[in-house]
Amino acid sequence: MRPALLAIATAAVFAAGAATAADTPRLTVYSGDFDAVARSMPMPGGAGFALYDATLEFQLRAGEDMVSLGGLPAALDAGSVRLRPRGDARVRGQRYDFAVAGQSELLERAIGSTITVEQDVGGQRRTVSGVLLAAGDGLTLRLPDGRIKVLSQYTAFDLDALPAGVVAEPTLTWSIASARGGRQAFDFAYATSGLGWRAEYVAELSGQGRGCRMDFEGAAMVANRSGTAFEGVQLTLVAGEPNRQQKGYAGTPRMARAEMMVADAAVAPEASGEYHAYRLPGTGDLPQDSVQRLPLIAPASGVACERRYETRAPQGGWVPPQPMLDPDFTNVAGKQPVTAMLGFANREADGLGLPLPAGRVRVFTGGDLLGEASLAHTALGQKVELALGTVFDLDAERSRLDFQVDRAGRTMTERVRVTLRNAKAEAATVHVVETLPRWSDWEIVASTVAAKKLDATSAGFDVAVPAGGETHLEYTVRYRWAPDVRID
């Protein structure tokens, strides 16, 4: 942003000279809220978060000056503004004026000023001029001859100038005292909402199962709905979402033209507090009401991955405070979808091994879209599991075959069947995830397919299903509880 710097003289001093941006301004945009930013109007405390830093120079005279800065975002957080002198000047006061909000506020501020009002009388245009005394359902004017005229209807009005305290755009005004005249530098910074970014990844797959290999690349999508353009800035994108106290109120957008922000290649991440930062080389512009795409993650080829089919009953992983003996507790039966899954590890040995900011992943095979999924912030070494969509030619159906409770022996057993059907021309293996939510102490005592304990509340089964056929998975789970466990 190249701020519009305006000089205002007080009754006791001359007008201050023009100010310039001495160093390259810096804009840091934090990830999160991208979709909300792209759909929103600018307002302080709204979606998105960014920090702006610049160095300004003012041509000051000895004594006290008042200087103003326009061209600010309508989404600016006024409480975050800092203007710190590098020399011996002192900032004695600061005021933030919102842009004109509407006709009623303008009329309220114009009371006591001369106004010209237009009326449509019998299809003819008539004007009335006078001092505005009141504004509400109508307008009350004192005419030049002293008479009072009340206008209940009007079509337009003219003011010679904006009333005191009213600005055409969001404006900061400072009172600056300096013992000497001359040009002095100030560090200027503020926070604003209305800017956000997310990563946009593309994965092209080849191979099946654990033989899957992936070509992977990522870009950054940066949205600006802050209410102003940022011109000639050094842009840094931070993968992280610091806590904010949000209190919003309305603002007004300002359109601007700007040069495109560009980068020739992906940039390496660097530490930024508790987050990761991507600092783009050179400078560029972020126009208001724009979304730009910039290189972020260098393309990686042959990344190890795994493709599999998965189905799971719609039961949560909640652990009850006591054994649940009710036969109908979580008796989930009926058809359930089979989902295409993609898994990979963010490790250098597997072809990646760098921080992956949160964003959208679009997955293709042979040019065909397999699906889209959201990727959370993923640190080095973490595993990624993405659900890509429901498989058309595979389905599953779950039913409970038996349930028994032995209160004296402090056990209960449940037998479940999952039927898997395959309409494909080739065999498929479906990973069945079964949540075991009745109690924390459980074991699979019988199963037609080998079971694997996945975590404290679930077991997994890899079930082979022939082409054009079906397979039944049946298992029995036994729950136990200690003598001191209370049973209702």
Decide if 441 is inside a domain.
Answer: yes
Q: Give the pLDDT of residue 160.
A: 81
Pick the range with the lowest mean pLDDT from 124-138, 187-201, 234-248. 234-248
Q: For residue 319, give the CATH number of its domain.
A: 2.60.40
Decide if 245 is inside a domain.
Answer: yes
Q: Give the pLDDT of residue 21.
A: 47
Q: Give the pLDDT of residue 155.
A: 87
Q: Please tell me whether residues 39 and 179 are part of one structural domain.
A: yes
Q: Please tell me whether residues 248 and 273 are part of one structural domain.
A: yes
Q: Give the pLDDT of residue 93.
A: 92
| Amino acid found at 420 | L
Q: Please tell me whether residues 186 and 292 are part of one structural domain.
A: yes
Query: Which of 264, 217, 253, 231 lies closest to 362 in space, CA to CA?
Result: 217
Decide if 346 is inside a domain.
Answer: no
Highest mean pLDDT among 31-45, 49-63, 202-216: 202-216
Local confidence band at 163 (pLDDT 50, 70, 90 cut-offs): confident
Q: Give the pLDDT of residue 430.
A: 97
Decide if 349 is inside a domain.
Answer: no
Average pLDDT estimate for 429-446? 95
Q: Give the pLDDT of residue 257.
A: 33
Q: Give the pLDDT of residue 274.
A: 57
Q: Please tell me whether residues 293 and 332 are part of one structural domain.
A: no
Q: Give the pLDDT of residue 462.
A: 97
Q: Which residue has the higher pLDDT, 424 or 274?
A: 424
**Dihedral pair phi/psi, residue 211, rounded to 5°:** -85, 5
- As a whole number of angstroms, the distance between CA 318 and CA 457 comes to 8
Q: Please tell me whether residues 27 and 80 are part of one structural domain.
A: yes
Local confidence band at 389 (pLDDT 50, 70, 90 cut-offs): very high
Average pLDDT estimate for 4-26? 42
Q: Please tell me whether residues 317 and 240 are part of one structural domain.
A: no
* Boundary (domain end) residue, out of 271, 300, 329: 300
Q: Please tell me whether residues 244 and 172 are part of one structural domain.
A: yes
Decide if 382 is inside a domain.
Answer: no
Provide the whole-model pTM: 0.72
Average pLDDT estimate for 38-54? 87
Q: Please tell me whether residues 188 and 134 are part of one structural domain.
A: no
| Domain of residue 268, residue span | 1-99+167-196+216-300
Decide if 257 is inside a domain.
Answer: yes
Question: How far, in whole angstroms, is CA 321 from its chain's centroid?
Answer: 37
Which tokens go with 279?
């600092």
Q: How far apart are the first and last CA of the chain?
A: 67
* Boundary (domain end) residue, out of 253, 277, 300: 300
Q: Please tell me whether residues 190 and 318 are part of one structural domain.
A: no
* Boundary (domain end) residue, out of 300, 323, 353: 300
Decide if 365 is inside a domain.
Answer: no
% of the chain beyond a pLDDT of 90 = 55
Q: Give the pLDDT of residue 144.
A: 93
Q: Please tell me whether residues 251 and 284 are part of one structural domain.
A: yes
At 36 the three-state DSSP class reads helix
Q: Give the pLDDT of residue 16.
A: 30
Q: For residue 108, give the CATH number of its domain.
A: 2.30.30.520
Per-residue pLDDT for 70 more than 80?
yes
Q: Which residue has the higher pLDDT, 20 or 29?
A: 29
Q: Give the pLDDT of residue 264.
A: 47
Q: Please tell me whether residues 144 and 237 are part of one structural domain.
A: no
Local confidence band at 244 (pLDDT 50, 70, 90 cut-offs): low
Q: Give the pLDDT of residue 261.
A: 42
How many structural domains comprise the chain? 3
* 180-210 burial: b if 16+ Cβ within 10 Å, else e: eeeebbbebbbbbbbbbbbbbbbbbbeeeee
Decide if 209 is inside a domain.
Answer: no
Per-residue pLDDT for 252 more than 70?
no
CA distances in angstroms from 52 to 173, 188, 259, 299, listed in the order given: 18, 8, 18, 30
Q: Please tell me whether residues 93 and 138 are part of one structural domain.
A: no
Per-residue pLDDT for 216 more than 70?
yes
- As a whole number of angstroms, the distance between CA 23 and CA 54 comes to 7
Q: Which residues contact 145 (CB under 8 A, 6 or more apart)?
A: none
Query: Which of 301, 284, 305, 319 lies closest to 441 in space, CA to CA?
Result: 319
The answer to whether the beta carbons of residues 252 and 102 sit under 8 Å apart is no
- As a whole number of angstroms, the distance between CA 9 and CA 17 comes to 10
Pick the range with the lowest mean pLDDT from 10-24, 119-133, 281-295. 10-24
Highest mean pLDDT among 179-188, 382-391, 479-488: 382-391
Pick the range with the lowest mean pLDDT from 155-164, 287-296, 347-356, 479-488. 155-164
